[in-house]
Chain A
Amino acid sequence: MPVSPKQARTLKHRSWVAFLVVPPIVFMSLFVVYPILSAFAYAFYEWRGMARGEFVGLANFKEVLFGATMAPTVWNAFLHNVYALIALMIIQNGGGFLLAWLLYKEPFGFRFHRVAVFVPVVLSTIIVGFLWKLFLNPNFGIINQALYSLGLDSWAKPWLGDSSTALGALILANAWHFVGFPTLVYLAGMQRIPSEIIEAARLDGTSEWQLLKNIVWPLVAPSTTILFTLLFIGAFNWFEIPYVMVGLDGSPFGTTDVLGLVFYRTAFGNQSASIQNFGLGSALATLIFLFIVVFASTLTLWLRRREIQF
């Protein structure tokens, strides 16, 4: 049967679409979908080292969530992730919003500051963690030295060794590292607001606070959606800064333990303390993944609803 020119065009179009779509689908399936599904499958087996043993059903999940050995560690770590999320939401995203507002008003040297605020984001997390570890060293770290020279000896602490300050120190180091990102996103969001709106508000004599609260904040809602969602995901996948600064154990005595560290220790073992259990590790990874997917989607939907078109 002869092919009409129209049919030929459709065919050509279709093969183009296939050519463009198939490689990424194959790539995604191979390197994203398959690993996720296999981790999910691994979680249903008992493991001896890296060798798969018996099918054990939901036993691994049960041990992770309710077991006498594993569950207390997991819930303790989960709580720390929640703390980190709340604290970073306020310090990192809130701080980013205020910094963006300052930069938006283009004060003296704002071009320099815009770059300066973003520079730490570009640094490797390993370097940032190491740097802060040096700053926080109780005996020669810059922070305690500064406190001593100001005569505030009683404020000096072994920051990372004290159970009441260690987690806070990690959160601050993380905020210092990433505050440039929400700043940049909020700044872009603020610059999208039509200047007439802000000028009109100013003419009406609104205070700075009212302007921020009633006009800027609602109008940067799309930025808020993306930043809150990313922070949520980041906070529950938190690993690098704790790993570099306090080690795999969540030292001191589990007060800085987070789910990422528990997962790593469980799935791959901690050379200086414990052996690996790949089944429990996979079960924990699956649970973290499901938790993040469900809550991040709900959060996004909820945040989307408050976005305004203009």
Chain B
Amino acid sequence: MKLTRRILMGAAAGSFIFSAGAAMAQQTELTFWSWRQEDKAFYQDAIKKFQAKEPNISIKFETYAPENYQTILSTALAAGRGPDVIQVRAYGNLETIATPGYLLALDKTNVPELANFPEAALAAETLRADGKVYAVPFAMQTQLVVYNKKIFKDNGLNPPKTWDELMTLAQALKAKNITPFGNGTATAWQNETIVGGLLSSMLGQQFEADIVSGKANFTDARFVNALTKLKDVSQYFSPNFTGVDYPSSQQLFVAGRAAMFAGGSYEVANFKNQNPTLDLGVFPAPVLKAGDQALVATYYDGGYAVNAKSEKKDAALKFVRFLATPEYGTSFTNTLKNLSPIKGIKIEDAITQDVAKLTENAMSYLMLVRFRYNEPSGSVLLQSNVQKMLAGQQTPEQAAAEINKGIATYYKPFQK
């Protein structure tokens, strides 16, 4: 009796251990790193949807502060560790991680869903050195002008088409004691978003093509004239704009004290969160003369990549493929109010539809897309020189010359 019990118990314990072992072998746990703490609920939800299809893969979502993310990530990767699935940036910042071989190259065989993306989106996650794609892009950002529809309506104003209309409109608002633009320039990178939001139509797609081919450089009349116009319109920015930092400028707009905000499409969701009663609209950079093509400036935020050293690559690839489906893109766009670049998504929100429509006529967000690979980066140069110009300490010609001089130190087409 005693013996049988022992045998039975032993068998029970053994089978328990065995079955647990089998379950553990089947259950794969992936780690997924991101800098988007604010999107945690969305990602948890997406993981649940993924698990409905792949019950044997569980995913741990971990976030780090955006300003330290790159440092923490690259340190972990350099030590041969790091997560299985990684949210990565694009362009120059992708290269610092992809160049040393930390990321798994993606192609149409391991991720057939890459076909769901436009070329420009994949280019943002491509390493220039080998032409391979290293991440599935997640969001497209657009630099444009966000405006407060209620203020416009109360004052009988319509979104301006041309630069002259913009100046008249801003003057009319100022006369009524409404700050036309909430923008301030104390936070350096805001100067770059302001240029993207307000000047893209005056620069034009041809200007970008000429810069790329080397036919024109930044001392080009189109660039200098656009900067001159920016200097002109800055009288309508928030009072004391040189000392107004990014959060204060946002507050001015959110509180309904400023009518417009030149910046990224990502501001819309942000503004709405802080003040849900805001009725917002968007318009592209005003054109110099009627009939010119109105443009916005676009770029891609980053993507989802697979750690090349991960021991669970198959599971990680399954998850990344899921993140490349129109189904995921649709929920990303509608939940986060951020435009997913995946083709065939269904957008619910009216303003996101408007943004999507504007991106059909776009140029690159130039310095990030083209000149974020070497030092001094185009962004550093544009930000500090526009900041200096708007503070009245240099002319548009000087600003353009400084920007050009910096880029020419490494950009071959400018060295001729």
Contact = CB atoms under 8 A, between A and B. Distances in A.
User: Are A and B interaction partners?
Assistant: yes
Interface of A: 48-51, 68-70, 133, 136-139, 157-163, 246-247, 249, 251-254, 268-277
Interface string B164-201: 00000000000000000000111111001000000000
B188 A138 contact: no
Contacts of B248: 137, 139
B270 to A, nearest CB: 16
Interface stretch (B66-74, B108-116, B139-147, B226-234): B66-74
Contact of B243 (A70, A159, A254, A276): A159
Nearest to A134: B248
A257 B391 CA distance: 17
Contacts of B242: 158, 161-162, 252
B392 to A, nearest CB: 10
24 contacts: A48-B96, A49-B100, A50-B96, A68-B409, A137-B243, A137-B248, A139-B239, A161-B391, A163-B388, A163-B391, A249-B380, A249-B383, A251-B188, A252-B188, A253-B388, A253-B393, A254-B384, A269-B71, A270-B380, A272-B192, A273-B189, A273-B192, A275-B93, A275-B377
Nearest to B79: A50
B97 interface: yes
A274 B377 contact: yes
B369 interface: no
Contact of B96 (A253, A273, A275): A275
B286 interface: no
A162 B101 CA distance: 44
B273 to A, nearest CB: 21
B415 interface: no
Nearest to B67: A271
Nearest to A137: B248
B96 A138 contact: no
B34 interface: no
Nearest to B385: A253
Nearest to B77: A50
A247 B243 CA distance: 13
B372 interface: yes
B25 to A, nearest CB: 33
Contacts of B238: 139
Contacts, number: 137
Contacts of B409: 68-69
Contacts of B100: 48-51
Contacts of A270: 380
A137 B89 CA distance: 32
A274 B372 contact: yes
B148 interface: no
Contacts of A51: 78, 99-102
Contact of A275 (B92, B192, B243, B393): B92
B93 A251 contact: no
Contacts of A160: 186, 243, 245
Contacts of A275: 92-93, 95-96, 372-373, 375, 377
Find the residue from A251, A268, A271, A273 having the highest chain B CB count within 10 A. A273
B391 A50 contact: no
A277 B243 contact: no
Given A50-B74, A252-B185, A252-B186, 10 more contacts: A49-B100, A133-B245, A138-B244, A139-B240, A139-B248, A158-B240, A162-B242, A163-B393, A269-B71, A271-B93
Contact of B75 (A50, A70, A137, A272): A50
Interface in B14-28: none
Contacts of A249: 188-189, 380, 383-384
A160 B248 CA distance: 13
A251 B186 contact: yes
Q: Is the interface of A mostly helix, strand, loop or mixed?
A: loop
B141 to A, nearest CB: 12
B379 A269 contact: no
Given A49-B74, A163-B393, A70 B375 contact: yes
A252 B388 contact: yes
Contacts of A68: 409
B271 to A, nearest CB: 19
Nearest to B96: A49
A276 B388 CA distance: 24
B376 interface: yes
A276 to B, nearest CB: 6
Nearest to B189: A272
A252 B385 CA distance: 10
Interface in B153-172: none
Contacts of B391: 161-163, 252-253
B217 interface: no
B307 interface: no
A277 B375 contact: yes
Contacts of B404: none
A270 B70 CA distance: 9
A253 B387 contact: yes
Contacts of A273: 188-189, 192, 377, 379-380, 383
A272 B379 contact: yes
Contacts of A139: 238-240, 244, 248
Interface in B332-379: 372-373, 375-377, 379
A246 B406 CA distance: 23
Contacts of A163: 388, 391, 393
Contacts of A159: 243
